[in-house]
Structure 1
Amino acid sequence: MTETSQAPTGAADTRPDTEPQEHDEELRYQFPGDKRQDVGRSISSTTMVRRLPHLIRRALALAWQADRRSTLLLLLAQAASGVFGALALYATTGTLAALLRPGPVTAHLRAAAPSLTLLTASVALRAGLGIAVTTLAGRVGPRVNRDADLKLIEAGCSAELAAYDQPSYNESWEAADRGAATTPDLLGSAQDVIASTVSLIAAAGVLTTLNPWLLPFLLLGSIPAGLAAVRTARIHYLAAVTTNDERAALRIYRWHLIDKQRADQVRSDQVLPFMMAMYRKAEARIVAVTDKAGTDAARVSLLAALASGVGAALMWGALLYLVSSGRIGLAAAGSATFALRTAAGGVQGMVGHGARLYRMGLYLDDFFSFLDEAGGHRIARGEIVPGPPKTIEVTGLTYCYPGEQQEPALRGVDLTLHQGEVVAVIGQNGSGKSTLLKLLSGLYLPQDGGGRILWNGIPIEDLDADGLFRQVARVPQEFARWPLPAHANIHLGHHDGDPGEAVRNAAALTGFDEVVSRLRSGWRTLLAQGWQGGAELSGGGWQRAAVARAFYRTRRRPGLLILDEPTSDLDPRAEHRILHALHDLAQDRITLLVTHNLANARLADRIVVMDQGRIVQTGTWDELARQPGGLFRELLDLQQDRTLPAQRTAAE
């Protein structure tokens, strides 16, 4: 039984406010230079007609790259379907003419037999071709989507790391991802437009032979529908663009609530009501925009339906006039009826599917734009392939992350590193240590006017990016936990045959081999809990794997070894083992170690102390420990201070 209690009347309500405050800053992803709203407003019938052939060619090009044989068969099947559609309409004329002539029924049937046979065969063959078209489209579509996803991933991994700090890049990625998701539907819409066009051409050819005056009346029922389709496409596209930032915020809120890494805090901190209020607030803005868009689109569609009805009435009235005036016979009128229905369906299909294709094309533009420039941040550096760095020189390095309220992460840093040297980087949280290491390893580039980094005297931006990365082995603070077998988590595909011995040697330096020995399938164990046969490691187990990964890579080639808090989750025994291994590996390479445990910095040849983005002290461990009033001495005293507050008294 659950009991509830109420606060006494007049008592202050101390419960936390689960509603977001009115003036709190919120997640907003709109960014300068976003031209999609301008593109949306420019949507018109003229632009649609002008772009449709281009979009169809683009869709067929994607299909051709994915599966040439199926795409060719698809086009042939659609063309044949149009031919048999025209034959069916012509056969209808012959059949009706034979049946409507005066005379015995048997004579009518004999006269109609050839046309009826052609009609039956055409309809049957067209139905079979329709099944073939559906099957082939179902075969090509997934392949197109697969290729689009692969291209998108490749482009995303070809962007500079600094791109992830830019809201414009994140938004470009989301837009490109939506574009990639539309590629199977794009092919389907292009196919529908082609099929509708083929049907229209076939029906128009039949109508021309019956009476050319029937052709203009087709437009009366189609133009209003076409204009409405374009108008509604513009309304819905603008609504989608307008709510992009809210949709991005919803994805972030949802991810933070369901992600395993935060699941314990969602429950223990009881954050769900507050976060759900933020979610509902953003969702309410989306609902308001989409509701208005739906109402506006319905109004446009209603007006178009009324106009199309008037056009259809005029078209059928014209047909009746031609029959009553004797300009066409009754059999031709019957054929014209079928042809008009087919042609009207073809026109409406071209308009409807064309409008949908045009709308998808807007998202596809985002996709191809991202492929071309990786969201405007494609890695485009020099062509010099570097060897192991003998010296790395940093001069006047300043770096600031994007954001209106950001302070510089680095301010005028000067530093020179030498091969064979171990340098420890010390500082409080937020002092710029990790940013400096990312710049030294080439993950970030110096900003314009923000100083220089030289590898062996060459500016880092003039070096080939892949060649530079091959010279770097690093353990970041937040290391990857790859869903791969244990051995693959170490070599990551970098080996010259059988990597077994090299993997085991690297793992022995960190104690990861002991972790693997306790796994059910040893080195073959999948490190992905929740998957068949998968296992999960402790935080310390994963950190041993991350350090072993860097040591394996170091022994293969790299001349720069970077370890950012490599022992933060480890017990003293594992930490001792790794630091001794690090000392042995330091020869013939530049080694950088970030650690908050100042005792570990004793193994360094030199210590660099950072504070608020600047280097404030440099020297050996003993030199810095003897400097009174320095930051290193202050941090060392705090770390060695083991005095505790007195035990509380009973009264306290």
Structure 2
Amino acid sequence: MKRTFSHHLPPARAAASDAPGTDHRPAVPAARRALPRTTPPPELDYNGRRHRRAMDDATLREMARRVPAALLQTARLAWSVDRRMVLTILVSQLLSGLGTAVMLTAVARAMKPLVAGGTAAAKFHAAMPALIVAGVAMAVGSAAWIVADWATRRLNPQVASAADLTIVDLHMRAELSAYDQEGFKDRSQAAEIGALRAMDLADDAKTLTNGLVQLVSAASVLTVLHPLLLGVLMLSVIPRGLGGVIAARIDYRVHDRTLSARNVRGMMRWWLTTSELADEVRANTMRSYLYSWYRTMCDRVEGRELAGAGPYLKITLVAAALSGFFTLGMWASLAALVLTGQMALAMAGTAIVASQTAGRALNSIIRYGAVMFHHGLYLGDYHDFLSEVRTLTTARGTATVTAPKEIRLDDVAYTYPNKTSPALHKLSLTLRRGEVVALVGANGAGKSTLVRLLSALTLPTHGTVSWDGTDLAKADAESVWRHVGLVPQKYGHWPLAARENITLGQPHAHDHHDEEVWRAAEEVGMAAVLRELPDELGTLLARSVWGGHELSGGQWQRLACARALYRRPGLLILDEPTSEMDARGEHQLFRSLRRMAADRITLVVTHRLDNVKMADHIIVLDDGGIREQGTFDQLIAQEDSLLGELYALSQDR
């Protein structure tokens, strides 16, 4: 399931235009009353349940064990992108803690003359040096915190970009077989969440470490004043901390149990609001059902969030009550120490300031410790996934290949991961430069798998595929792909200029002149269309962006073919290259293929059997094996020919 985060509120509950309006109760929106009853969407659940269990089992001890690991992972990631900012944050944190300690010590010194006998002027004059030190220390601490915040704001986007770039790069370098592994997509989604939360982790780590520094500073002062005070302070803060942990569990449980519903709702929302499907939604009267479906998903998310509000309130109230009870105990302890003469009044005033500082720091530690624990689970997913994908990246051999004159498949078979039956049975085949080869077969016959093997997008599980005698398993994959031009069934509508949509994939495309770009466009019949665009080759092809323009489906397909032809590849593979083209565009493309055939091996995968007549050689696949091969005339004349049967069916339409 594709992960799509959606933070949109439920759709506005305005009355639908086709609402019957039979119920006039103001509390029930008309849109809800108007829609017909439909089969509700199935309940969905996210596969990452181990995170739910981890949050449910989160104790202070478990958090204390796991949070340092999350801090270390965050520090390593931050250190790798900007060491100067990391050092700035660390130094600023230490200065902030030092400023707190100096300020509390200075306050203690200032309190003595302030509560002693004498005139107000004399008291103030005696306390002035200590007050100045306290003010300067407080200013230094505040300035250090501001600098740390500035450094974190500079570090955050770098951390987020580094995490995102790493995971995108590894996805693009992974073997295609990795995508076929069971659970790969789920693990990828969890890792993407970790990458998204990397920026939050950096900010949370700063706040958490600042709380630790402030706590150490304040606790040191309290311990010096009287060891009992630190223990009483801990009692006053721990209930709130435990309440924070339990509240975090509730929040996460609600988040986890609505994750799949929110993800699917987000995907559906895009489909409901994009212009790409607007015609189908309206003309086929899908609106009522789809809105009802979307409303049901909104209600489920809303209901579970509301259900979590009650327990959250109870836990928060109980934690606050216990914390308040123990806070009163701390004030009572201070009063008892002063009344019994075990602590001077001046020291009691300092203890109050220190306890407030330590309390805020401890609350911050508990709160952000729970947040770090939560985010750290996903950051762990991120690092685990990176380790996994690094072992699956395309790293085969070092042999360098050139544009092939001959491609041989010897006893080749391929079985997808977690499958028992092979997609391709053992087959042998030879393709030669100058040939136009047509690949024909029913859906699931193995055509796409064969294309992947010929172009080294994947390696056979049995046998060898070789270019001019070089086994592709021992060749550098990038050196192979430099000589491949591929037009797959699903090609990109890249939101780039028309020029880049043609030159995309060339390592030094900017060094080429536009004459070559125009030549590739002319070969597929796109030159006239591109010249009519406002900026010609410089026109942005993305209607959703201001100033962008859109092409038709057939024009996009021609552009994809131009992109492959521009590469002047040694192996040109076109998978259903004319499925969206008109007859003129189809004719022009195949005429260009015939004209340029001598310079390359050309493979065309098609279901349009009239097109296979132009091929020099036809390969018919059936159930993962070669059923027959030869010229069009040979196969049509052959008894029990599958091509002959399919061709006859195509002519009867």
Residue equivalent to 1:592: 603
C-alpha change, 1:244 and 1:409, in structure 2 (3 Å) is: farther
Matched residue type, 1:220: L
Q: Which moved more, 1:69-78 or 1:514-523?
A: 69-78
Matched residue type, 1:410: A
CA distance in 1, matches of 2:197, 2:18: 53
Picking from 438, 455, 469, the partner of 1:424 is: 438
Q: How many residues align?
A: 620
Measured against aligned partners, the alpha-carbon deviations of 1:129-173 in whole angstroms (never above 9, x if no partner) come to: 333333222222222222222122212222333444567222222
Residue equivalent to 1:533: 547
Residue equivalent to 1:11: none
CA distance in 2, matches of 1:376, 1:249: 31
State the TM-score, normalizing by the size of structure 1: 0.86
CA distance in 2, matches of 1:5, 1:62: 58
State the Cα distance separating 1:334 from its structure 2 match: 0.7
State the Cα distance separating 1:115 from its structure 2 match: 1.5
Residue equivalent to 1:96: 111
C-alpha change, 1:567 and 1:288, in structure 2 (3 Å) is: same
Matched residue type, 1:480: G
State the TM-score, normalizing by the size of structure 2: 0.86
Q: Is the 8 A contact 1:401 1:408 kept in 2?
A: no
> What are the within-5 Å matches in structure 2 for residues 360-375 of structure 1?
360-374=375-389
CA distance in 2, matches of 1:241, 1:4: 35
Q: Is the 8 A contact 2:95 2:140 kept in 1?
A: no
State the Cα distance separating 1:608 from its structure 2 match: 1.5
> What are the within-5 Å matches in structure 2 for residues 49-448 of structure 1?
49-165=64-180, 168-287=183-302, 289-374=304-389, 378-389=393-404, 390-393=406-409, 395=411, 397=413, 399=415, 410=423, 412=425, 414-420=427-433, 421-446=435-460
Residue equivalent to 2:635: 624
Q: Is the 8 A contact 1:48 1:230 kept in 2?
A: no
| 1:489 is the counterpart of 2:501 | yes
| 1:545 is the counterpart of 2:556 | no
CA distance in 2, matches of 1:581, 1:140: 53
C-alpha change, 1:37 and 1:454, in structure 2 (3 Å) is: farther
State the Cα distance separating 1:610 from its structure 2 match: 3.1
Gaps of 5+ in 1: 7-14, 643-652
State the Cα distance separating 1:238 from its structure 2 match: 4.3
Tell me the SS of whatever aligns to 1:356: helix
CA distance in 2, matches of 1:286, 1:90: 52
Measured against aligned partners, the alpha-carbon deviations of 1:64-106 in whole angstroms (never above 9, x if no partner) come to: 3333323322222222122222222122222221121111222
Residue equivalent to 2:535: 521
C-alpha change, 1:26 and 1:584, in structure 2 (3 Å) is: farther
CA distance in 1, matches of 2:428, 2:46: 37
Tell me the SS of whatever aligns to 2:620: strand
C-alpha change, 1:519 and 1:263, in structure 2 (3 Å) is: same
State the Cα distance separating 1:42 from its structure 2 match: 4.2
State the Cα distance separating 1:330 from its structure 2 match: 0.7
Q: Is the 8 A contact 2:191 2:383 kept in 1?
A: yes
Tell me the SS of whatever aligns to 1:596: coil
State the Cα distance separating 1:344 from its structure 2 match: 1.3
Matched residue type, 1:392: R
| 1:455 is the counterpart of 2:471 | no
C-alpha change, 1:35 and 1:458, in structure 2 (3 Å) is: farther
State the Cα distance separating 1:542 from its structure 2 match: 1.6
Q: Which moved more, 1:88-97 or 1:585-594?
A: 585-594
Tell me the SS of whatever aligns to 1:569: coil
| 1:573 is the counterpart of 2:584 | yes
State the Cα distance separating 1:562 from its structure 2 match: 0.6
Residue equivalent to 2:524: 510
Measured against aligned partners, the alpha-carbon deviations of 1:304-357 in whole angstroms (never above 9, x if no partner) come to: 333323322222221111101101111111111111111111111111111111
State the Cα distance separating 1:424 from its structure 2 match: 0.5
State the Cα distance separating 1:40 from its structure 2 match: 3.8
State the Cα distance separating 1:382 from its structure 2 match: 4.3
Tell me the SS of whatever aligns to 2:607: coil
Q: Which moved more, 1:139-148 or 1:460-469?
A: 460-469
Picking from 552, 561, 567, the partner of 2:572 is: 561
CA distance in 2, matches of 1:3, 1:326: 82
CA distance in 1, matches of 2:98, 2:111: 20
Measured against aligned partners, the alpha-carbon deviations of 1:455-490 in whole angstroms (never above 9, x if no partner) come to: 246665554333332232111122212111111111
Tell me the SS of whatever aligns to 1:616: strand
Tell me the SS of whatever aligns to 2:610: helix
CA distance in 2, matches of 1:281, 1:433: 41
Q: Is the 8 A contact 1:44 1:230 kept in 2?
A: yes
C-alpha change, 1:278 and 1:240, in structure 2 (3 Å) is: same
Q: Is the 8 A contact 1:385 1:463 kept in 2?
A: yes
CA distance in 2, matches of 1:283, 1:92: 55
Q: Which moved more, 1:270-279 or 1:194-203?
A: 270-279
Measured against aligned partners, the alpha-carbon deviations of 1:194-253 in whole angstroms (never above 9, x if no partner) come to: 111121122122222322232222221222233333333344334444444333333333
Residue equivalent to 1:9: none
Q: Is the 8 A contact 2:612 2:632 kept in 1?
A: yes
Tell me the SS of whatever aligns to 1:98: helix
Matched residue type, 2:432: Q
C-alpha change, 1:548 and 1:479, in structure 2 (3 Å) is: same
Q: Is the 8 A contact 2:46 2:256 kept in 1?
A: no
Picking from 12, 21, 30, the partner of 2:47 is: 30
C-alpha change, 1:377 and 1:40, in structure 2 (3 Å) is: farther
Tell me the SS of whatever aligns to 2:603: strand
CA distance in 2, matches of 1:26, 1:224: 36
Runs of 4+ in structure 1 displaced over 6 angstroms? 2-6, 25-28
CA distance in 2, matches of 1:259, 1:543: 21
Q: Which moved more, 1:573-582 or 1:600-609?
A: 573-582
CA distance in 1, matches of 2:246, 2:390: 29
Gaps of 5+ in 2: 1-16, 22-33
Q: Which moved more, 1:207-216 or 1:195-204?
A: 207-216
CA distance in 1, matches of 2:35, 2:344: 83
CA distance in 2, matches of 1:504, 1:264: 34
Matched residue type, 2:413: L
